[in-house]
Amino acid sequence: MARSFVVVVLFVSVLCFSSASARKISEKFYVEGKIYCDPCHFEFESRLSFPLSGVNVTLECINGKNNTMTYMKNSTTDANGLYRIPVRGDHQEDICVVVADSPNEGECKEVMPNKSDRIILTNNMGAASRARFVNPLGFMTQTIDSQCNIVVHELGLDNLDD
Ligand X SMILES: *[C@@H]1O[C@H](CO)[C@@H](O)[C@H](O)[C@H]1NC(C)=O
Task: State yes or no: residue 56 binds ligand X (CB under 6 A).
Answer: yes
CB of residue 100 to ligand X, shortest distance in Å? 7
Span from 21-29, 102-110, 134-142, 145-153 in contact with ligand X (CB under 6 A): 102-110
Question: Please, which residues have CB within 8 angstroms of residue 147's CB and are 6 or more apart in sequence?
Answer: 48
Task: State yes or no: residue 68 binds ligand X (CB under 6 A).
Answer: yes
Strands (E), the chain: 28-38, 50-51, 56-63, 69-76, 82-88, 94-100, 108-111, 131-133, 137-141
Could you give the CA distance from residue 50 to residue 145 in angstroms, rounded to a whole number?
A: 12
Closest to ligand X by CB, 101 vs 145, is 101
Task: State yes or no: residue 63 binds ligand X (CB under 6 A).
Answer: yes
Closest to ligand X by CB, 56 vs 123, is 56
Applying CB under 6 A, among 15, 111, 131, 157 the residue interacting with ligand X is 111
